Amino acid sequence: MTNYKRRDFLKNGAALAALSGASAAGVLLPATLAQAQSAAGKIRVGLMLPYTGTFAQLGVAIENGFRLALAEHGGKFGGRELEFFKVDDESDPAKATENANKLIQRDKVEVLVGTVHSGVEMGILKVVRESGTLHIIPNAGADAATGGLCAPNVFRTSFTNWQPSYPLGDLLIKRGHKSAVYLTWKYGAGEESLGGFRDGYSKAGGKILKEMFLPFPNVEFQALLTEIAALKPDAVVCFFAGGGAAKFLRDYAAAGLKGKIPLYGSGFLTDGILEAVGDAAEGIETTLHYGDGIDTKRNNAFRLAYAKTFKLQPDVYAVQGYDAGLLLTAGLDAMKGDIANKAGMIKAMENVKIDSPRGPWTMSKAHNPIQDIYLRKVVGKENKVMGVAHKALADPARGCKMA
Ligand code: PHB
């Protein structure tokens, strides 16, 4: 290790000295020198996340978690530091390819970390599948990213939209709920979460009475809640997240439905918003790959470090960002900071076992976590873990053919 570092230092030092001489003389740099300069310089990391809009808090939590993991590693990778380039993607799919290109073409990032919104993710995928840029998805569940559009350079540290919703079907039947209404935003994540729920619920013998949608990020729930009251399903199931989820929980209670028709969802419904919603969330059961109260040394240490650093409680988004940092670290450590060795980076990132606050997980062949899905229940300000709803759940990765 010491030997490597000294050799590396000498090599880079010599290259830089030669470089400055060449530049001063106005001479064009030979390719080898340009490469040596980039090897010696900082690793260029792009962050494409929402910092405004209904998912703004999610973007912040992801970046916090990501930076925490990197800082815990000492901030250096094979002797190289990281340089960050940031874009606020506003959760706006219409601007997605332009924003991804800003990072890749203008800023020349060597790895792009993002994003939250599945529709924006589809735009990023288009760009990185063409450029071959290393890409780590710290939230967006778009099934295609590790399904029909899977690619060697695309990794995810979060979930597919199918994954946390699938175990809900079984749960509802165990609770005796034979009929349900599903309610969500009309976009990829909502539709695919519904798909996961439908798979699990129909297999378990449940019947979906109606599927209801409103445009993203609309929060005018009143008419739909009135319709639900008239339909009288055994249960209501939904996918909402961020500010929209907080508003939905308050409206559900205000409409008098809480306590009358039990409400379930993938755990995004109650994650990161409990401070804001208070009693309206109490007792709600959800399924997700994380829960605040996972009582392990790993999770407790993570929660303490996060709270100390950011003066905030972490949530599932912070964990996914943290794990994106662990994944990148695993690749960079294996390659001693040589991120340009893409084949080596990919191989190292494929073979990881991530020691996550959520519990250890491995990377599927399609580059998505194989992970436990927990049953959680809101108790006070906590998503309390009540058990494991599905052990080591892998997404079916429909249509993934890795090139
Ligand atoms: C998504 O759009 O994929 C998405 C957004 C927010 C979540 C989960 C999934 O909490």
Verify that 146 and 220 share a domain, yes or no: no
Query: Measured at the alpha carbon of residue 398, what is the angle toward residues 393 and 401, in degrees to the nearest 5?
Result: 110
Q: Is residue 250 part of a domain?
A: yes
Q: What is the pLDDT of residues 153-183, one digit of tens each?
A: 999 999 999 999 999 999 999 999 999 999 9
Residue range 105-116, pLDDT digits in tens: 999 999 999 999
> Stretch 108-126: mean pLDDT, rounded?
98
How many whole angstroms from 57 Cα to the centroid of ligand 1? 12
Taking a C-beta distance cutoff of 8 angstroms, is the pair 299, 196 a contact? Answer: no
Residues 300 and 189 in one domain: no
Task: Please check whether residue 397 lies inside any domain of the structure.
Answer: no
Amino acid at 18: A
Q: b or e along 207-225 (b: 16 or more beta carbons within 10 Å of the residue's beta carbon)?
A: ebeeebbbebbebebeebb
Q: Determine the Cα–Cα distance for residues 291 and 344; give it in Å rounded to an integer.
A: 33
Show Cβ contacts of residue 6 under 8 Å, excluding neighbours closer than 6 positions.
Answer: none
Asked if residue 278 and residue 248 are part of one domain, the reply reads yes
Please indicate whether residue 278 or residue 118 has the higher confidence score (pLDDT). Answer: 118
Q: Report residue 117 as tokens.
A: 């919104």
pLDDT of residue 403: 73
CA atoms within 13 A on the CB side of 114: 40
Residues 175 and 260 in one domain: yes
Question: Domain boundary residue among 288, 321, 348?
Answer: 288
Asked if residues 222 and 251 have their Cβ atoms less than 8 Å apart, the reply is yes
Which atom of ligand 1 approaches the CA of 142 most closely?
A: 3
Per DSSP bridges, beta strands 285-288 and 263-266 are parallel
Mention every residue, 6+ apart, whose C-beta is less than 8 A from residue 54.
91, 217, 241, 242, 243, 244
Query: In this structure, are 40 and 153 located in the same domain?
Result: yes
Structurally, how many domains does the chain consist of?
Answer: 2
Under a CB-based contact definition with an 8 Å cutoff, are residues 309 and 398 in contact?
A: no
Q: Is residue 310 part of a domain?
A: yes
Q: Report how far residue 51's alpha carbon sits from residue 64's, in angstroms, rounded to the nearest whole number.
A: 12
The answer on pLDDT for 34 being more than 90 is no
User: What's the rounded Cα separation, in Å, for the pair 294 and 112?
Assistant: 30
Phi, psi angle pair for 312, to nearest 5°: -140, 155
Does residue 16 sit in the same domain as residue 88? yes
Pocket test for ligand 1, best of 121, 161, 316 (most atoms within 8 A of CB): 161
CB-ligand 1 contact for 65 (6 Å cutoff)? no
Residues 15 and 153 both lie in one domain? yes
Averaged pLDDT, 314-325: 98
Give the whole-angstrom CA distance, residue 112 versus residue 128: 8
282, 306: one domain: no
Q: What is the pTM of this model?
A: 0.90
Is residue 2's pLDDT more than 50? Answer: no
Q: Mean per-residue pLDDT for 189-205?
A: 98
CA distances from 233 to 5, 126, 230 (A): 65, 40, 9
Same domain, 29 and 135: yes
Q: Tell me the two tokens of residue 1.
A: 């290790």
Residue 153 in domain: yes
Domain boundary among 238, 256, 288: 288
Between the CA of 55 and the centroid of ligand 1 the distance, in Å, is 8
Choose the residue to mutate in 58, 91, 116 for probing ligand 1, maximizing ligand atoms within 8 Å of C-beta.
116
Give the list of residues 6+ apart from residue 193 with CB closer than 8 angstroms, or none: 141, 161, 162, 164, 165, 184, 239, 266
- When pLDDT is averaged across residues 135-146 and rounded to a whole number, the result is 98
**277 occurs within a structural domain:** yes
Nearest CA to ligand 1 atom 7: 241
Instruction: Check which CATH number belongs to the domain holding 223 and give it.
Output: 3.40.50.2300
Do 281 and 178 lie in one domain? The reply is: yes
**Best of 60, 117, 122, 125 to mutate for ligand 1, by most ligand atoms within 8 A of CB?**
117
For residue 242, which atom of ligand 1 is closest to its CA? Answer: 10
Does residue 167 lie in a domain region? yes
Q: Between these two residues, 59 and 26, which has the higher pLDDT value?
A: 59
> Do residues 173 and 206 lie in contact, with contact meaning Cβ atoms separated by under 8 Å?
yes
Secondary structure letter of residue 115 according to DSSP: -
Q: Tell me: do 299 and 364 sit in the same domain.
A: yes
Query: Cα dihedral sign for 242, 243, 248, 251?
Result: positive
According to DSSP, residue 187 is labeled S
Whether 122 lines ligand 1, by a CB cut-off of 6 Å, is no
Candidate ranges 21-25, 74-78, 389-393; pick with highest mean pLDDT: 389-393
What number of H helices and E strands is found in the chain?
14, 14
Q: How far is CA 108 from CA 32, 151, 289, 308, 311, in A?
A: 18, 20, 33, 33, 33
Domain that holds residue 121: 6-159+295-370
Residue 116 Cβ < 6 Å to ligand 1: yes
Q: What is the chain's mean pLDDT, rounded?
A: 91
**301 and 278 housed in the same domain:** no
Query: What residue type is assigned to position 191 of the chain?
Result: E
Last residue of a domain, one of 257, 288, 319: 288
- Domain assignment present for 401: no
268 Cβ closer than 6 Å to some ligand 1 atom:
yes
**Residue 398 forms part of a structural domain:** no
